[in-house]
Structure 1
Amino acid sequence: CLVAVALARKYPDLVGGLVLASGYYFPTARPDVAGMAVPAVPVVGDAIRYTISPVLSRLAWPLLMRTIFGPQPVPEKFAGFPKAMAVRPSQLRASAAESALMVPEALAAGDSYRQLSMPVSIIAGADDRLVDAQDQSARLHGEIPQSSFHRVPSAGHMIHQTATEAVMNAIEKVALPNGHAARAEAV
């Protein structure tokens, strides 16, 4: 979501509307993010990414899936997800770099959310275990006058997988009047 918001802030004429699902917008204390960022640290992170991180990631995989999908069950279609690809050293570095930049980017965004002029549909799982919907999505809704906010009951972080219809409805809310989707949508 931060990437979509940054794009909309920098190139507002290219973005007809935004759909922001389960986003993180305001800096908060995130010990989980600090721990996840370690593999991005030069030298030490390199050693960790090629030794213990792949093993720990494989062991933590079931818990991670339950956390990001919960309270909904992990969809059956994810049983075949190639987790070996997700725990490769190169992917671990990319994920770590993203984690390391998450809080500073939210801090840098500051009060710029009010600058967004396009329609914004904010959607979040009411029971998200990673990002607090009230502290993040509801607060963002308060910052953007032309936004709508939909809190999906009994849904977690992966609402695009577990509440697809609600996400599609959010996209329809920012669609252009002629029925075509906005020029740039981000979920």
Structure 2
Amino acid sequence: MKILQAILPARRNSKAAHYALVAAAGGIALGGMALFAREQTKVAERRHPPEGEFLDVEGVRLHYLERGAGEPLILLHGNGTQVEDFETSGLLDLAAKNYRVIAFDRPGFGHSSRPRGTIWTPAAQADLIHEAMIQLGVEHATVLGHSLGASIAVALALRHPASVKKLVLVSGYFYPTDRFDAALQFVGALPIVGDVMRYTISPLLARLAWGGVMKKIFAPADVSKSFSAAIKEMALRPSQLRASSADSALMIPNAIATQKSYGDLAMPVSIVVGGNDRLIKPDSQSLRLHHDIAGSELRVIPRRGNMVHHGAAAEIMRAVGAVTT
């Protein structure tokens, strides 16, 4: 009996020591990943300094690029990217031949801040862009949104119709579908849990998945190497991963809330989509939107995916209304 009494505490102590070692090892691993994420963020921001100007809009430090002269054209990028997307595709420089082009880093992307006190729905982002337009002296503009940026463009047109001369919606998501990937992002957008993930394992997982994601969004076209090089390091920062997760988590709720309002859009609407988009299916999204908006123009570009503006910038500009050669 005395022997058993001596053995049991020893075993309990052994298990406690084992769990303590596991916990310590886990803590060291998480700490190491956090240090790696912080160092990679410093490297990314050093290699990719802001190229444009900043506005202070309702507590947001909003970064933007402005080029060209003429009628204003607002460019709103998709999820996970930044204004360099429009640069590397050639769309920004092509548009600047005919327009005063203003491309914004949306809140939390590129060099724009994203205060935590706001839920950055497409409507909230649209209101922010509208205020930025006022500060820049833009009363009436053509607004082009790519992918998730198309949702913000639609929200801007619905909430501030007098400010939008024309809508150009490229590879947008407009109707609710079963998007497990978007729903999964809800976890990454949560406080505390999401923060721990973003500063530890999420940057590593995103880095491993980067090549596959690039192939999917560009397919069947080849991946633009200039885009990947310009975007990758900034996209893997914890702050931008948070913005991406939050925007993805709001995709489906926004589509549910907005889908019955598309018929209210009174301005001209051009819809552009890659005919082989594997990320956002054309039949259930852009083609359906064309049916729901009377008088809208639809351009389906063959052999292109979600990143249709890479390699088809001239076709995008024809949708905008500029004559290109």
Structure 1 residue matching 2:209: 3-state secondary structure: helix
TM-score, length-normalised on structure 1?
0.89
**d(CA) in 2 for partners of 1:76 and 1:30?**
27
More strand by share: 2
How far does residue 106 in structure 1 lie from its aligned partner after superposition? Answer: 0.6
Q: Deviations over 1:82-121 (max 9, x none)?
A: 5221111100000000001111001110210000000000
Say whether 1:97 aligns with 2:246: yes
Q: Deviations over 1:100-150 (max 9, x none)?
A: 111100111021000000000000001101100010000000010020111
In terms of mean alpha carbon deviation, does 11-20 or 81-90 score higher?
81-90
**d(CA) in 1 for partners of 2:183 and 2:250?**
10
Q: Specify the alignment match of 2:211 in structure 1.
A: 62
**Match for residue 35 of structure 1 among 184, 187, 208:** 184
How far does residue 162 in structure 1 lie from its aligned partner after superposition? Answer: 2.6
Moved over 3 A (4+): none
Task: Output aligned runs, 1:108-127, within 5 Å.
Answer: 108-127=257-276
Instruction: Extract unaligned runs of 5+ from structure 2.
Output: 1-149
**Match for residue 49 of structure 1 among 186, 194, 198:** 198
Task: Output aligned runs, 1:159-170, within 5 Å.
Answer: 159-170=308-319
RMSD of the alignment, in Å?
1.4
Structure 2 residue matching 1:72: 3-state secondary structure: coil
**d(CA) in 1 for partners of 2:305 and 2:319?**
16
Question: Aligned pairs, how many?
Answer: 174
Instruction: Extract unaligned runs of 5+ from structure 1.
Output: 180-187
2:162 is aligned with what amino acid?
Answer: D
**d(CA) in 2 for partners of 1:76 and 1:60?**
16
Task: State the structure with bigger RCO (CA 8 A, min sep 6), 1 or 2.
Answer: 1
Q: Deviations over 1:41-95 (max 9, x none)?
A: 1111111111110000000011111111111001232353252211111000000
**d(CA) in 2 for partners of 1:87 and 1:129?**
23
- Identity across matched positions, percent: 50
**d(CA) in 1 for partners of 2:252 and 2:231?**
28
Q: Specify the alignment match of 1:171 in structure 2.
A: 320
**d(CA) in 2 for partners of 1:36 and 1:63?**
17
Structure 2 residue matching 1:74: 3-state secondary structure: coil
TM-score, length-normalised on structure 2?
0.52
**d(CA) in 2 for partners of 1:121 and 1:89?**
35
Q: Deviations over 1:148-167 (max 9, x none)?
A: 11111100000112311111
How far does residue 16 in structure 1 lie from its aligned partner after superposition? Answer: 0.6
1:153 is aligned with what amino acid?
Answer: P
